[in-house]
Amino acid sequence: MSANHSRGDDDAEGVRATNGHPSANDPPRAGLAAHQKSRSRLRNLVLGIAIGSVIGLIGTIGVIAYLARGQLPIMSATDFEAAVSRWNERGLKNYEMELEGNFDIKGKLHVAVRNGEVTSMSLDGQPSPARIWEYWSVNGLFGIIRRDLDRNEAAAKNPGGPLPQPVLQQAEFDPELGFPRRYQRSEISSGQSGDWRIVSLRHFD
């Protein structure tokens, strides 16, 4: 038997042994395995970052809550909805209130409401533009708190995402009428905070 014929038999045996597929030692298969391993490492890295972000967020909230102990209680959605219900059932349509704010507006505010609508507002004794009046009635203050609640709900659905970042909400509601006596919001990521306090609320017939 010639040498050429012997090499042909060896080649045929190689093909039959691998059922026509490349062997595990072939370079293309090795490259595919390396690629799959790299993708697996990337998935594990992304998962680790996401889990770490959630754990870090929980830890940050815990630290802030610890530092805030003895001050305003941390507000829950249940607390808020109960307060809104009390205001809707027993709240006032005609009232004037004094607030102290360190929020979007800083200073002392006087707000007059008739039939549920703001009719005048001043900041540190100076008239305020009518376009912002609606935000500083009791209903407007509830609206500010609700937007923060919605923001936290969106953040919970997208943990570790860039926006929106969650807000720590602390509040004290009037036990009878439900209006928010005090409210403080603290942004978890930046540490920025704002608050207001209703100094007085007087009913008018």
**Would you state the pLDDT for residue 165?**
80
Q: How far is CA 41 from the centre of its chain?
A: 29
**Would you state the pLDDT for residue 37?**
60
**Residue 182 to residue 106: CA distance in whole angstroms:** 15
**Would you state the pLDDT for residue 59?**
44
**Tokens 């507000």, residue located:** 75
**Ranges under pLDDT 50 in the chain:** 1-28, 50, 52-70
**Would you state the pLDDT for residue 113?**
97
Which residues face 97 on adjacent strands?
111, 201
**Would you state the pLDDT for residue 204?**
85
* pLDDT 10s digits, 45-99: 555 554 544 444 444 444 444 444 447 999 999 999 999 999 999 999 999 999 9
**Would you state the pLDDT for residue 42?**
63
**Would you state the pLDDT for residue 192?**
84
Q: 161 vs 49, 54, 118, 154, 177, CA distance in Å?
A: 11, 10, 38, 10, 38
- The pairing of strands 106-114 and 95-102 is antiparallel
